[in-house]
């Protein structure tokens, strides 16, 4: 019994059996050690991430009697849309990494081919292209010349040639015809004039 008590007292001291002092690391130092180790050993992530610059972040740090349990997230550097990967480190209190395992690989968000937003944008662009095409085809045809109507002179004299009316003359004729029509009786305009 006395020997058992002596061993327990020996285990409580911070010395190795050779008499050297044991340097324990803190929980925060264990988190930094896990990130440093991950940076130095990127081949663990496989060929998909071997040539990429990665970013790490300590997610959680837990301490039990013998080990520190550290969880670290990792993802490609820059704009990354998706869920970062997570790995777990088991580090003993002296700073030796005893376990490393990947819990989840990074996964990129996949865009849906027919998302409602994409359909709306596609429809707007399609209507714009169709409208532009119609506008272009309308502008590619020459504008027709105004129609000229030959009207015989009103004074009754036959000159042998027809008079060419301008749009202003046509408006004037219509205005006069409306003013001359009173009580259902036309004055001097015929139906051909109107």
**What pLDDT, in 10s, does the model give residues 166-182?**
888 888 877 777 776 65
Residue 90: pLDDT band (50, 70, 90) is very high
At residue 176's C-alpha, the angle toward residues 175 and 180, to 5°, is: 125
Q: What is the mean pLDDT of residues 44-63?
A: 88
Distance (Å, whole) CA 121 – CA 143? 35
Percent of the chain clearing pLDDT 70 (strictly above): 57
Provide φ and ψ at 91, rounded to 5°. -120, 130
pLDDT reported for residue 122: 75
- In SS3 terms, 29-53 reads as HHHHHHHHHHHHCHHHHCCCCCCCC
- Name beta bridge partners: 73: 57, 86
Please name the residues in contact with 53: beta carbons below 8 A apart, sequence gap of 6 or more.
76, 77, 78
Asked whether the predicted pLDDT for residue 10 surpasses 70, the reply is: no
Q: Reply yes or no on whether the pLDDT at 107 is more than 60.
A: yes
Would the pLDDT of 5 be above 60? no
pLDDT given for residue 159 in this prediction: 55
What is the rounded average pLDDT for all residues in the chain? 75
pLDDT band at 147 (very low <50, low <70, confident <90, very high): low
What pLDDT score was predicted for residue 139?
57
List the one residue out of 159, 162, 153, 24 whose CA is nearest residue 96: 24
Of all residues in the chain, what percent carry a pLDDT higher than 90?
A: 28
């Amino acid at each position: 019994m006395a020997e058992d008590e002596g061993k327990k007292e020996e285990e409580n001291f911070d010395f190795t059996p050779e008499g050297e002092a044991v340097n324990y690391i803190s929980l925060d130092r264990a988190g930094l050690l896990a990130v440093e180790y991950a940076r130095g050993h990127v081949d663990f992530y496989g060929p998909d991430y071997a040539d990429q610059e990665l970013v790490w972040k300590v997610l959680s740090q837990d301490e039990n009697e013998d080990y520190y349990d550290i969880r670290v997230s990792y993802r490609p550097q820059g704009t990354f849309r998706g869920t970062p990967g997570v790995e777990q480190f088991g580090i003993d209190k002296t700073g030796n990494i005893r376990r490393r395992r990947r819990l989840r690989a990074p996964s990129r968000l996949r865009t849906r081919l027919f998302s409602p937003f994409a359909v709306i944008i596609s429809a707007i662009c399609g209507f714009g292209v169709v409208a532009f095409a119609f506008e272009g085809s309308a502008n590619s045809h020459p504008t027709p010349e105004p129609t000229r109507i030959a009207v015989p002179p009103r004074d009754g004299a036959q000159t042998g040639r027809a008079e060419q009316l301008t749009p202003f003359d046509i408006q004037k004729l219509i205005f006069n015809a409306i003013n001359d029509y009173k009580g259902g009786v036309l004055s001097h305009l015929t139906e051909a004039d109107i």
